[in-house]
Structure 1
Amino acid sequence: MAEKTSYAPGEPCWVELASPDVEAAEVFYGGLFGWDCASPGPQYGGYTTFTLGGTPGTEVAGLLKAADPAQPSDWICYFSVADAGATAELVRAAGGRVRVPPMDVMDLGRMAVFTDALGAGFGVWEPAAFAGARRVDEPGTLLWTELACRDVETARTFYRTVFGWEFTEEQEGGFSYTEWLLEGRSVAGMVRMDHRWPDDATPYWIPYFAVDNCDATADKGRALGGSVRVPPTDIPPGRFALMADPCGAHFMVFTPKD
């Protein structure tokens, strides 16, 4: 895909890893996806940007050190908004919580981090000089974001209020899947947690990264010290696997059907 330079409000635009071991994350994701790391400068507090092979203009994700060393490593999905402050008010009104209030990030934009009405964490990005990921929908880049929760009706109400999303639901073999729609276009998904999830599992957003070969990527992830939580599995759109990096951050890899 060509360089992406803008995102519509409500569209996924960035993903960011908070890890207690930044160096281990750099090695793991560099080996898995061919990502290189670039630091924009000390004024950004140690924030690192992942790029495709170190090529300028190919920013695909962010990396920062977890504030609490005991904090589990975690990916957070960000969605583009026109006004982070106004979005924070919508989140509160819909029953969510503001974890990190809207704040400026140099001249790049404005960010905030929330939990939704069910407790799933997500972020928003109000763009200025930086719109979000410069490359998507190609191997080694963000392909999809997905919410997993048990109370899909509450989630639908929350995200309709916050982002204006509508939805369509599909049933196949007793499995329910929701696609979030923005002006009629699919932008994200939601799966209803059922017996396949542990009883104590809490709602979460998770990123999908595109890969050429799901099985080979799963094997490479193991060799790099990660783990495969759900082995490569076929579904109608392609083949996916649920993986975790050496510090425990979960993510999906996906090979679309031709």
Structure 2
Amino acid sequence: MHEMPKGPGWLHWVDLASPDAATSKSFYCELFGWSVYTLTAPGYGDYNIFTLDDVHGPEVAGMQMLTDDSQPPSWTCYFRVDDLQGTVDTIVSQGGQELVPPTDWAGLADMALCADSQGVDFGIAKPGLIKGLGATNQPSAVCWVELAARDVSEGRRFYTEVFGWRATDRDYSGSVYTTWKVDDWSIGGMALMDDAWPSQYPAQWTPCFWVTDCDATAARATELGAAVGVPPTDIQPGRFSKLTDPTGAPFAVITPVRTPGPDQRSDPGR
């Protein structure tokens, strides 16, 4: 199994904003076999860390409570940078927005929340006590992140300018799919939101988790209160499904046809 490198431009962290911590903890721990522990920092409130297996296992995600009831439950993908403020300045200069300024979160990490030039939220981070995801590209861990965008040309331009990513296109069953690369390593993808996408579906970044049986996972997720957006479907990289958890946060799962690795030869994107 390949671990994602932890250099600039790479996925650093995924974070769930939930209106109901108890429901989210129960759902993801039941679905993926995760454990969870809570960090409490004065002035910052509680922050939950999901881990593989027991609480001493590697970190696979974080969770915080929604601070604004008007915001939808969601997953946020954070990408690593060396210069937090410099990257925020670049994001703004390229038509994006600073939503939450660079913040030292109790020494755990320095993070900022931004929006791209099409209004899609994402995060940037520098490691602190939390060095980043402790497990990737293995069952029950993130193996891919995907941007669904209305304008893929603008997406290519923006993220290339901000992170220096290189965009390569592939034809999957007549649909063009963009893979983001750092050097020759695949770090995520971008899908065009064409007329087949519901008009109310927001453009967004979505984490994709590796599961050993996509159909069984989707069925179990439904039993636990999730909704299925894209039923288990065979795509070139594997068997794939998009889901919405019981609080309303979208995520995806895939059973890859081959071991997904962050390299130029294979990726679990659509």
Where on the TM-score scale, by shorter chain, does this alignment land: which range? Answer: over 0.9
CA distance in 2, matches of 1:23, 1:198: 30
CA distance in 2, matches of 1:55, 1:102: 29
Q: Kindly report which structure 2 residues correspond to 1:1-258, keeping only aligned pairs within 5 A, or say none.
A: 1=1, 7-43=6-42, 44-258=44-258
CA distance in 2, matches of 1:109, 1:42: 13
SS at match of 1:86: helix
SS at match of 2:46: coil
> Match for 1:252: what amino acid?
A
Kept in 1: contact 2:2–2:137 (CA 8 A): no
CA distance in 2, matches of 1:11, 1:3: 11
CA distance in 2, matches of 1:254, 1:67: 31
> Match for 1:113: what amino acid?
L
> Match for 2:15: what amino acid?
E
- The offset of 1:57, in angstroms, is 4.2
Kept in 2: contact 1:148–1:203 (CA 8 A): yes
CA distance in 1, matches of 2:3, 2:107: 21
CA distance in 2, matches of 1:71, 1:128: 27
Which range moves more in the overlay, 102-111 or 153-162?
Answer: 102-111
What TM-score does the superposition give when structure 2 sets the normalisation length? 0.91
Deviations, residues 197-251 of structure 1 (Å, cap 9, x unaligned): 1223331100000000000000100111111111000011101100111111000
> Match for 1:104: what amino acid?
D
Kept in 1: contact 2:166–2:180 (CA 8 A): yes
CA distance in 2, matches of 1:70, 1:41: 25
CA distance in 1, matches of 2:125, 2:54: 24
Q: CA RMSD in A?
A: 1.5
> Match for 2:18: what amino acid?
S
CA distance in 2, matches of 1:62, 1:126: 15
- The offset of 1:195, in angstroms, is 1.5
- The offset of 1:45, in angstroms, is 1.1
Give identity over the alignment, percent.
43
SS at match of 1:47: strand
- The offset of 1:69, in angstroms, is 2.9
- The offset of 1:2, in angstroms, is 7.6
Kept in 2: contact 1:94–1:158 (CA 8 A): yes
> Match for 2:219: what amino acid?
D
Kept in 2: contact 1:98–1:115 (CA 8 A): yes
For structure 1, the 5+ residue unaligned runs are none
> Match for 2:127: what amino acid?
P
CA distance in 2, matches of 1:55, 1:2: 22
Residues 200 and 228 from structure 1, CA distance in 2 versus in 1: closer, same or farther, beyond 3 angstroms?
A: closer
Which range moves more in the overlay, 92-101 or 119-128?
Answer: 119-128
Count of matched residue pairs: 257
Which range moves more in the overlay, 205-214 or 127-136?
Answer: 127-136
CA distance in 2, matches of 1:198, 1:220: 25
Kept in 1: contact 2:41–2:106 (CA 8 A): no
What TM-score does the superposition give when structure 1 sets the normalisation length? 0.95
CA distance in 1, matches of 2:248, 2:88: 29
